Every structure is written in C-alpha cells, then in structure tokens.
A and B are shown apart, each in its own frame.
Chain A
Amino acid sequence: MDILISGLLLGGTYALMAMGLNLQYGVARIMNLANGEMLVLGGLAAFWLFTTAAVSPLLTAFVVAPLAFAGNWLIYRYLLLPLVRRAKSTGQLEVDSILATFGMSFALVGIMVSIHGEYFTYSYLADPFSILGSTVALNRFIAFLAAAAIGFALYYWLNHTYAGTAVRAVSVSTEAAGLVGINVDKVSAMAFALGGAVTAVGGTLISTFITLDASVGVIFTMKALIIMIMGGVGDIRGAVIAALILGLVETAVATIIDPGLTLASAYVIFLAVLLFRPQGLFGRRSS
C-alpha cells in the first residue's frame, strides 16, 4: 500500500514533465533532449529562492512558468526554427534537433554547475502526512495535487479552447493545419514554450521531495522519453497512465530490491514497450 501511494504520487509529477516533452515533440516536432535540464532549472530556481529569500516553491512555480515560457519561446524561435527551415527531410530535422538540444543540454549543465555545483538540498513541507492509512511526506502530496491541477488545466485547454484545437491540429498534420489557415510556426513555438514551462514547473515541484543537482537532468529526460513512448506520442491520457506505471514500478523496485536499480527497471519497461507495443499503450498500430 505504501508503495502504491508513493508510486502514484511520484508518477503524478513524472506525468507533468512527460506532458511537457510530449507537447514539444508531438506538436513542434523537436526531440528536446534538453528537457531534463529545463526541469532541473525549475528545481534550481525553487532551491535558490527558498534558501536565499525563503520563498515557497509553490509561489516560485508562478515565477518559473512565465520565465520558462519566454526562455523556451526564444530557444525555439532563434535556435530551433532555423533548423526546421533548413531541414530537407524529417530525418534531417530529427538529427539536427537531437544534436542541437544535446548541445543546449550540456551548455545548461555547464552553466548550472557554475551557479551551484552542489546538491540542491532544502527542506520544504517535509512533514509526515497520512493518507489512506499510509504515511507520506506532505510535499509529495502537495506536488501531486499541483501536478494534477496543471495536467487537468492543460487537458481542458487542449480539448476545449480554440487555441488548444489549433495545437492539436498541428500535432496531427503541419501541412493540413497550414492549409486551414493556422500559423504553424507560431503554434509550434507556443507549444514548445508551453512544454518547456510545464516541465520547468514540474521541476520546481519535484525539487521539494527529490534532491536534484546540476547534472541529473539527463535521467529525467530519459524517463520523460520512456513515458512518452510508452503512452504514445501526442497522447496526453496515455502519458499520464504511463507515468503512473513508471512511478509505481520504480517505487516498487527501489523499495523491494534496490534503489540503485530504478533506472534499470525503467529500461526493462522501455524494452518491453519497444518489443511489444512500439506504437504506445493505446496507440493504434500504424502500417
């Protein structure tokens, strides 16, 4: 039961970062391997504001979101859009964006190391909290609630607003969306920026209960990618369920076998998905 509860709570925050990546890859078609660094930046902001000015991470999230949105918009507009424009094929864009975001990822790690090379240790709402007979840290629970709220808001926005519909249209087909008068570049930039903001806020939340450091981002990138592929690219509900599964499995493996094997367990899931359902848990097998 303890495993179930903390696994689900962890999965909730994973879902948020995977949603961010999903928006960036599903809509803007950029495989953003600097996604984890965006998450760590969100955590770094929370750590820094908390330790220097005692600002609650929940408030920091409101600062992080617009900043990350603006930052990611600039990245898309001035670094990635030129790659989209020069690419002769989707394959070339994929290689270019992988290499470019690797570059950004390393550069961001380098910058963060020079800001704070140690662990981002701080303690916020680490009080025990009882739920359904299990005791978890309050910060985990709060983070989960916040992640769920953001997730629902995002889901509603995508499915029930005009702008959200445009985003979904671009994710289905850039060409068709362009033909019906959607400004594809603008929508892609917005989706990329939004994805970055969602991931960074996820990082702010995660940092309340997982101690991050400057170079840990790539692990989160891996996890977000695994969740996205397991859930199906562009499928938000799939991503949520995949994230919960990953959270559960990791928690179970860490508790029962060895915490050192969480990445290996994520990999086993990944391999199983690639072998048996490469189209995602709910995806339709395409021909």
Chain B
Amino acid sequence: MTPGDTILKVNDLTKRFGGLVAVNGLSFDVQEHEVMGIIGPNGSGKSTTMNLISGALKATSGSIVLEGHDLTPLPPHKIARFGVARTFQLVRILPQLTVIENVVAGAAFAHKPRWGAEAESFAAALLDRLELGDKKDLGIGSLTYIDQKRLELARALAAEPEILLLDEWLAGLNPSELQIGIELIANLRREGRTIILVEHVMDAIRSLCDRCIVMNSGVKIAEGTPADVLSDPDVIRAYLGDD
C-alpha cells in the first residue's frame, strides 16, 4: 500500500537523564500505511525514542503529535487509548494469564475497546492468524520463545493500533525463526498497518522498511530509503568508527 497522510509528527524531541542526553532534538514524521525503521548503534537513543512515544518515559522537551493529539505530556494509558500499541525489547507476557487472556488484555482497554464474547472471538481470530490458535487456552509456561514473541505481537495488534511500535521484535530469534518473523511483519505491512520498528537485523530493515532514520548519540544522522541510508558515508562511519 502506498503511504498516505502524515499520522505521527515528532518535533525537536529531547530526553536528558541527568547529564546524559539520550535523545537530542530529534524530528521525524511517519505516514499512514508506512513502515519506518529506526536504526543506529547501541546506545544511540532508539529505544529511548520508542519509550518516549509510548509514554514509558517523559520527554524533557519537544513534542510528539498523533493525528492532532499532543501525546507528549500524557501517561502511557492515555497514549494507548489514542491508538499507540507496542511490544517490549525484552518480551513481556502476562505470566498468570492464559494465551487468549493475554490477547484480550490488549483489546479490552484500547482506543477501540472490546469486551466479553466479542473480545474473545476477536482474540481467537488474531491467534489463528499468528498460528497460535491451537494454544489459546494454555498457560504461558508452555510457549516457545517465538510463540511468546508472537503472543506479544498479538496483544499489541488486538488494540487495533493507529501506530504499532516494535522494539527489536526480531531480536533473539534463530535463523529459521527469523524468516518466519520477517514474513509476519511483511504481512502486517501488506495489510497497510503503520509501524515503527527499531531493529538491528539489517536484512529485516532492507526488506521491510519503506523509509528509515539513523540515529547516533541521540541525533538523527540520516533519513531515507534503507538502500540510501545504508550507503551513506556518515552512517557507515557511525557503525564502523572513523578509521
């Protein structure tokens, strides 16, 4: 699907932790139906940016605007109700809930809340699509790592988000799981979902992203298609050092 109107505007976003500036004057836009990647070396501020958008962290200055709503001062639950859903860098599943309850958790309080039988059938359909349908009534203990990742994704999708944040969702998968994972996100892209993904896996960036921004030391150093930015000398220097 071709990208549509601008849905998310990040403007001059800055986050300080004491003396450390983790994100420094970052600005970018995300269009509807677009998959945008944020890449950069470790510690460059990618995850901090995700946490600022989802409200896990409060910005020191700057603004984040989703479809005209200023998200910057809001707590995470209000941001979620405006249609931002996310997965976490270290997978976070609700351990005492069953698989399907984990998905209903994503649907029940979101910006298009579903509850009761409707939420159950909606969640069951999502699980079927992510090939977890036969495990829906099991506990979490029986899930493999990639199944946990899928479940976390299902929980985020259950919110029917306007924008989906995937924070290193592919990290830790083995090569064959990685192919499954990339295919899954590619499907989401074909459905026309708007996604920001932070990723270290360059194959995934190349095949999945319409556009990406590159961060280094909290600053955006490049923006463009994956092919363009990955051949940008500044980007190569940021990854490999000056030598």
| A positions within 8 Å CB-CB of B | 88, 284, 287
Residues in B neighbouring A287, C-beta threshold 8 A: 17, 57-58
- What is the CA–CA distance of A284 and B19 in the complex, to the nearest angstrom? 12
> Is there an interface contact between B18 and A284, defined as CB atoms closer than 8 Å?
yes
B1-51 CB contacts (< 8 Å) to partner A: 17-18
A-side contacts of B17, CB under 8 Å: 287
- Report the separation of the CA atoms of residues A88 and B141 in the bound assembly, to the nearest whole angstrom: 13
Q: Please state if B95 and A88 are interface contacts (CB–CB under 8 Å).
A: yes
> Which residues of A are found within 8 Å of B95, using beta-carbon distances?
88
5 A-B residue pairings within 8 Å (CB atoms): A88-B95, A284-B18, A287-B17, A287-B57, A287-B58
B56 CB, nearest partner CB in chain A, Å: 8
User: CA separation between A88 and B18, bound complex, in Å?
Assistant: 31
For B18, the chain A residues whose CB sits under 8 A away are 284
Which 5 A-B pairs give the minimum distances between C-beta atoms?
A287-B57, A287-B58, A284-B18, A287-B17, A88-B95
**Closest approach, in angstroms, between the C-beta of B73 and any C-beta of chain A?**
14
**A284 to B18 CA separation, bound complex (whole angstroms):** 8
Find chain B residues with CB under 8 A from A284 CB. 18
Bound-state Cα–Cα, A287 to B57, Å: 6
CB distance from B88 to the nearest CB of A (A): 15
- The chain A residue with its CB closest to the CB of B15 is A287
Main secondary structure on B side of the interface with A:
loop
B residues lining the A interface (CB < 8 Å): 17-18, 57-58, 95
> What's the Cα separation between A88 and B94 when bound, in Å?
13
In the complex, which residue of chain B has the Cβ closest to the Cβ of A284?
Answer: B18
User: Whose C-beta in chain A lies nearest to the C-beta of B18?
Assistant: A284
In the complex, what's the smallest C-beta–C-beta distance from A10 to chain B, in angstroms? Answer: 35
A273 to B17 Cα, complex, angstroms: 23
- A86: shortest Cβ distance to chain B, in Å? 14
CA of A69 to CA of B184 in the docked complex: distance in angstroms?
Answer: 57
A287 to B17, CA, bound (A): 8
> How far is A284 from B17 in the complex, measured between Cα atoms in Å?
10
CB distance from B13 to the nearest CB of A (A): 14
Question: B16's closest neighbor in chain A, by CB?
Answer: A287
Name the residue of chain A whose CB is nearest to the CB of B56: A287
Q: How far is the CA of A287 from the CA of B58 in the complex (A)?
A: 7
A26 to B117, CA, bound (A): 47
A287 to chain B, nearest CB (A): 5
Closest partner residue, chain A, to B51 (CB atom): A287
B22 to chain A, nearest CB (A): 10
CA distance A88 to B17 in the complex (A): 29
For A88, give the chain B residue with the smallest CB separation: B95
Residues on B with beta carbons closer than 8 Å to the beta carbon of A88: 95
User: What is the CB-to-nearest-CB distance from B61 to chain A, in angstroms, rounded to a whole number?
Assistant: 14
CA distance A284 to B57 in the complex (A): 15
A88 to B95, CA, bound (A): 10
- The smallest beta-carbon distance between A283 and chain B, in angstroms, is 12
Q: How near does chain A come to B4, taking the closest CB pair, in angstroms?
A: 34
B96 to nearest A CB, angstroms? 10
Residue of A with least CB distance to B95: A88
A87, chain B: closest CB distance, angstroms: 13
Give the residue name and chain of the A residue nearest to B57 (CB): A287
A residues within 8 A CB of B57? Answer: 287
Given the complex of chains A and B, what is the CA–CA distance between A48 and B125 in angstroms?
72
What's the minimum C-beta distance from A96 to chain B, rounded to whole angstroms? Answer: 16
In the assembled complex, the Cα of A173 lies from the Cα of B58 at a distance in Å of: 24
Distance of A231 Cα from B200 Cα, bound (Å): 41
CB distance from A92 to the nearest CB of B (A): 10
Chain B nearest CB: distance from A264 CB in Å?
Answer: 33
- Please measure, in the bound complex, the distance between the C-alpha atom of A88 and the C-alpha atom of B93, giving whole angstroms: 13
Q: How far is the CB of B159 from chain A (nearest CB, A)?
A: 24
Q: Look across to chain B and name the residue whose beta carbon is closest to the beta carbon of A287.
A: B57
Complex CA–CA separation, A68 to B34 (angstroms): 64
A142 to chain B, nearest CB (A): 42
Q: How far is the CA of A82 from the CA of B110 in the complex (A)?
A: 40
Distance to closest chain B CB from A208 (angstroms): 44
Q: Which residue of B lies closest to A89 (CB)?
A: B95
Q: How far is the CB of A122 from chain B (nearest CB, A)?
A: 51
Q: How far is the CB of B76 from chain A (nearest CB, A)?
A: 12
Q: Considering the chains assembled together, what is the distance between the CA atoms of A284 and B95 in angstroms?
A: 32
Residues of chain A contacted by B58 (CB below 8 angstroms): 287
B94 to chain A, nearest CB (A): 12
Q: Which residue of B lies closest to A286 (CB)?
A: B17
CA of A66 to CA of B57 in the docked complex: distance in angstroms?
46
Q: How far is the CB of A53 from chain B (nearest CB, A)?
A: 55
| Min CB–CB distance B33 → chain A (angstroms) | 32
Distance between B134 CB and nearest chain A CB, rounded to angstroms: 26
Give chain B nearest CB distance to A263 CB in angstroms: 34
Least Cβ–Cβ distance between B17 and chain A, in angstroms = 7
Nearest CB in chain A to that of B48: its residue: A287
